[in-house]
Structure 1
Amino acid sequence: MDDLQDLHVRHMTVADCRAVAEIRVGGWRTAYAGLVPRSYLDGLDVAADAEKRRALLLKPGNPVVDLVAERAGEVLGWAAYGPYREGDARTVDAELYALYVRPGHLGGGVGGALLRASLDRCRTAGHPRVLLWVLKENVRARRFYERHGFAPDGTEELFEVDGVEIPELRYALRTGPGGTTP
């Protein structure tokens, strides 16, 4: 178990892009092994992902908030959230777009710290709910979100990866007074 006392959650900077890309690619390869096509996982490229993170972070008007959790200068996790997208429209709800922890640090509280920081910021910004999508077969992630108050809201859709359709569930959490259910 990691010691959370020296864990610091802060806004991501351009200098963090390589570490975040390593975490994201490692997270996909760890969390989605057996759930998405191996060809897709093998094709993930840290350098290309780092450049994509950098471009998104520097994009003017980008409403996405990127947070990292670090300890002693090492980035151990990354979360990204912003307005919930309903087609091309943005809603008053927030969406947790991503939450990944460096393999080797799973189960140590890094993900929980990032999730709490994201939820606190969403609550402060006045978002009535936070929504997220999780692969239906990703039991570990579903349990993690359920432990933090999220619940499936009954919405399901297919996510295509390398020509394979994979079912996703939408989870929701009310951020305002009176509840944690969809």
Structure 2
Amino acid sequence: MDDRLPHIRPMTLADCDRVSEIRVRGWQHAYRGLMPQPYLDALSVTADAERRRARFGQGDGAVVNLVAELGGEVVGWAAHGPYRDDEVRTEDAELYAIYVDPAHFGGGIGRALLAESAGQCARYPRMLLWVLKENARARRFYERAGFRPDGAEEPFDVDGVPVPEMRYARGR
């Protein structure tokens, strides 16, 4: 296997700490200037990992967690499954999350995770995702992958600060 190309595989319990580190550091990096800094500074890798370990393996298996490895190190994470509309599943798929270790931006890891998630969701009519309206970098990433805003928006509030989200769709 080429160590320069990411290897995508299902997440294991042993990956929880690293995935939490990637998620928390990803929030702190991607949402700097978009969310209140005290909120971002207070995010805890330890607390996130504890929650992740406690939930690991629960549910009906509809939520799929993937990790990207590069040279044997986990450098990215994505989660997808059925789209939830007020916690009611629909016929569509949803990309719940995708994060890459900021030290590995631009190396194709996010594209590989998104491609694998989309491939696993090919049986669904559409794949949807939510992105912060002001997150221009993420929006460009999704648009390059063929996603487009579909007009749906969601108010989102972090410590009293509005950070609205918009929905993107690919398919149909």
Question: TM exceeds 0.5?
Answer: yes
- Conservation of the 8 A alpha-carbon contact between 2:76 and 2:100: yes
- Conservation of the 8 A alpha-carbon contact between 1:56 and 1:62: no
Aligned to 1:98: 97
Aligned to 1:76: 75
TM-score, normalised to structure 2, is: 0.95
Following the alignment from structure 1 to structure 2, what is the Cα–Cα distance between the partners of residues 62 and 48?
23
- 129-138 or 51-60: bigger deviation: 51-60
Q: Structure 2: where are the runs of 5+ without partners? A: none
Aligned to 1:149: 146
CA-atom RMSD, angstroms? 1.4
- Conservation of the 8 A alpha-carbon contact between 1:4 and 1:109: no
- Residue 63 of structure 1, CA deviation: 2.2
Give the partner amino acid of 1:151: R
- TM alignment of 1:1-182, pairs within 5 A: 5-123=4-122, 126-174=123-171
Following the alignment from structure 1 to structure 2, what is the Cα–Cα distance between the partners of residues 60 and 138?
31
Cα distance, 1:101–1:159 mapped onto 2, change above 3 Å: same
Following the alignment from structure 2 to structure 1, what is the Cα–Cα distance between the partners of residues 22 and 11?
13
Q: Structure 1: where are the runs of 5+ without partners? A: none
Alpha-carbon deviations, 1:110-161, whole Å to 9, x = none? Answer: 00000000000000xx111000000011000000000000000011111121
Aligned length: 171
Task: Specify the SS of the correspondent of 2:103.
Answer: coil
Of all paired residues, the percent bearing the same amino acid is: 61
Give the partner amino acid of 2:101: R
TM-score, normalised to structure 1, is: 0.90
